[in-house]
Amino acid sequence: MGGGMGGNFGNTKGSRTTKHGSERLKERGFSNSDISNTKNTTNIKTQGDGAKVYIKEISNGRFNVIVEGDKGIITALKNINQKALERLTKNYNWR
């Protein structure tokens, strides 16, 4: 599992993770399948700092989110609701 910058959280089709990203993926219970499914979404935004934000609706009004920068996956959120997603979109300037 990702032990630092350039780490790798299992078999994620080559996705690297930062140390923080690896911790968040594990802490929030992301499986390799969850990571792949989230990153295969068509709903991709760009954060104010240039990071890509992958947003996958997993059920009605519930979302998984992965934020990935140049050094890999930075953080991940699992099963958040629409209101939380809207708040994050505003706070981090996702476009």
Asked whether residue 78 is assigned to any structural domain, the reply reads: yes
Asked whether residue 1 is assigned to any structural domain, the reply reads: no
Q: How many domains is the chain built from?
A: 1
Asked whether residue 63 is assigned to any structural domain, the reply reads: yes
Strand (E) or helix (H) holding 39? helix 32-39
DSSP letter (8 states) at residue 21: H
- The predicted-structure confidence for 80-94, as pLDDT tens digits, reads as follows 999 999 999 999 999
Instruction: Name the residue range of residue 46's domain.
Output: 7-91
Asked whether residue 16 is assigned to any structural domain, the reply reads: yes
Q: What is the pLDDT of residue 15?
A: 81
- The predicted-structure confidence for 12-44, as pLDDT tens digits, reads as follows 556 899 999 999 999 999 999 999 999 999 999
